[in-house]
A and B are shown apart, each in its own frame.
Chain A
Amino acid sequence: GENVEQHPSTLSVQEGDSAVIKCTYSDSASNYFPWYKQELGKRPQLIIDIRSNVGEKKDQRIAVTLNKTAKHFSLHITETQPEDSAVYFCAALSSGSRLTFGEGTQLTVNP
């Protein structure tokens, strides 16, 4: 089955700096890669996703890049703000509708 690894497990940045979270996956058939944000005490919510027919996608301050050859994808957050502090999960969709998640990254943005 699919295996997704996520790094780093914790990330602390100063407000205004950029943050990058990286994930690797094992199944070359995976074709959909979402990122979920989970604020403290709340449910995970989709923030951005990318499908295997594109290499990069942007939505305001967040972007995701995908390298299918190397089987890795990354989340980039620019101009970080305190409200970006949360746990971020990457995931990969392989067989059927099944999403496999990474271990999560606790991002802390210090004012």
Chain B
Amino acid sequence: DVKVTQSSRYLVKRTGEKVFLECVQDMDHENMFWYRQDPGLGLRLIYFSYDVKMKEKGDIPEGYSVSREKKERFSLILESASTNQTSMYLCASSSDTGGPLSGANVLTFGAGSRLTVL
């Protein structure tokens, strides 16, 4: 029962290409996140969204943009891919509602998208 789905597990792109990473969740969560995972650096937040058409910058937004046209879908866009954007990208979602005992704020992650930029 996959709940957060990332459209591509592996992508190889050229420098300068535009890249779209898609994420869909079926849990009716308000919050969606894009993280980047690199060895020794943990999970770094790129962008997040509290609601449809809302977006907030995370810790490393430079070179990225996002789109949330529907509640269940959150897209990460690399306008002009660069080699330093080679990484594993993780999408996640969470809900604020229900209080501590119901799992509020618990992140459910997608399987990840490994992007290589040549």
Contact = CB atoms under 8 A, between A and B. Distances in A.
Interface in B71-102: 90, 94, 96, 100
A32 B96 CA distance: 12
B42 A97 contact: no
Contacts, number: 57
Given A34-B106, A44-B90, A44-B109, A97 B45 contact: no
A32 B99 CA distance: 12
A98 B43 contact: no
Interface residues of A, number: 24
A98 B45 contact: yes
Contacts of A9: 40
Contacts of A32: 100, 105
Interface string B28-62: 00110101000011111100101000001011000
Interface residues of B, number: 26
Is the contact region of chain A dominated by helix, strand, or loop, or is it mixed? strand
Interface of B: 30-31, 33, 35, 40-45, 48, 50, 56, 58-59, 90, 94, 96, 100, 105-107, 109-112
Given A101-B35, A101-B43, A104-B40, 13 more contacts: A34-B107, A43-B111, A44-B109, A46-B106, A49-B106, A89-B43, A93-B105, A97-B94, A97-B96, A99-B105, A101-B42, A101-B44, A103-B40
